Amino acid sequence: MGMGHVPQDPIHPHGQSPQFQGRERRGTSVGRHSGSERSDLTAARRARARWGEQRAADWYQRNGYEVIARNWLMRGGELDVVARRGKLIVVCEVKSRANNNFGTPLEAMTTTKQHRVRRAGYAFVRELGEQGCSLRFDVATVLGTQLTVYEDAF
């Protein structure tokens, strides 16, 4: 046999048990999250996101905007908060984090996410059907309990 030789016989002959041919499924290993712990983390993250979106919507209302949509969905995108003041439509993406361990909330606003939010924002304005509206894209970050709104972020 030389280098690169491929045996003609199958690695596991047909008569043998296929016990080791697939991945064995076992319980979670020590140190990993169990299913209920993972769902608890997911629920906590969703609650933080909803709380952050409510804070951002409240900020827009305090600053003279009318919130016209929250969590508006379309295929391939979602708008967290949509507000208006006169002919200005503001689309706000909200990023909430408990801490900076995995980067700041603003760093989570990648170019891919910006593209999705832009596409959804233009679809929202088309569905609104009003002429002469201008569109602005903001990012609201919630770090712990601190809200920061970046107007005209992208």
Q: What is the pLDDT of residue 10?
A: 57
Which pLDDT value is given to residue 108? 92
Rounded Cα distance between 58 and 136, Å, is 18
Is 121 within 8 Å of 91 (Cβ atoms)? yes
CATH topology of domain 35-150: Trna Endonuclease; Chain: A, domain 1 (3.40.1350)
DSSP the chain: --TT---SS-SS-TTS--TTTSPPP-PPPTTSPPHHHHHHHHHHHHHHHHHHHHHHHHHHHHTT-EEEEEEEEETTEEEEEEEEETTEEEEEEEEEES-STT--TGGG--HHHHHHHHHHHHHHHHHHT-SS-EEEEEEEEEETTEEEEETT--
pLDDT score for 12:
54
Res 76: pLDDT: 87
Report field, pTM of the whole predicted structure over 0.75 = no
Q: How far apart are the first and last CA of the chain?
A: 62
150 Cβ neighbours under 8 A, 6+ residues apart: 106, 138, 139, 140, 141
Q: Which of 148, 143, 154 is nearest to 59 (CA)?
A: 148
Q: Tell me the pLDDT of the chain (154 aa) as tens digits.
A: 556 666 666 555 555 555 555 555 555 555 555 566 778 888 999 999 999 999 999 999 999 999 999 999 999 899 999 999 999 999 999 999 999 999 999 999 999 999 999 999 999 999 999 889 999 999 999 999 999 999 999 9
